[in-house]
Homo-oligomer: A and B are copies of this chain.
Amino acid sequence: MSRPVTAQAQEDDPLLLDRQVCFPLYAATNLLNRLYGPVLGKLGLTYPQYLVMLVLWEREVQTVGELGALLYLDSGTLTPLLKRMETAGLVVRARDPIDERRVVVTLTDQGWMLRDRAVHVPETMSGGYAPEGLDELRESVRTLVTILAQRDGKRPASPRALSPDERR
- Chain A interface (Cβ within 8 Å of chain B)? 1-3, 7, 9, 14-17, 19-36, 38, 47-48, 51, 54-55, 57-60, 70-73, 109, 112-113, 115-116, 118-119, 121-123, 125, 127, 131, 133-134, 136-138, 140-145, 147-149, 151-152, 167
Once the chains are docked, how many angstroms separate the CA of A148 from the CA of B131?
Answer: 11
Q: Determine how close the nearest CB of chain B comes to the CB of A103; give it in whole angstroms.
A: 21
Q: Which residue of B lies closest to A139 (CB)?
A: B24
A90 to chain B, nearest CB (A): 14
Beyond A127-B151, A137-B140, whether A51 also contacts B71 by CB under 8 A is no
Each complex incorporates copies of this chain amounting to 2
**Is there an interface contact between A14 and B51, defined as CB atoms closer than 8 Å?**
no
- Residue in contact with A22 in the complex, picked from B14, B27, B32, B112, CB distance below 8 Å: B32
Least Cβ–Cβ distance between A34 and chain B, in angstroms: 6
Q: Which residue of B lies closest to A57 (CB)?
A: B15
Question: Can you list 28 A-B pairs, Cβ within 8 angstroms, ordered by A?
Answer: A2-B115, A3-B112, A9-B58, A14-B123, A16-B54, A16-B58, A17-B51, A17-B54, A20-B138, A22-B32, A22-B125, A23-B54, A24-B138, A25-B28, A26-B29, A26-B33, A26-B47, A26-B51, A27-B72, A28-B141, A30-B72, A30-B73, A31-B145, A31-B152, A35-B152, A131-B143, A137-B140, A137-B144
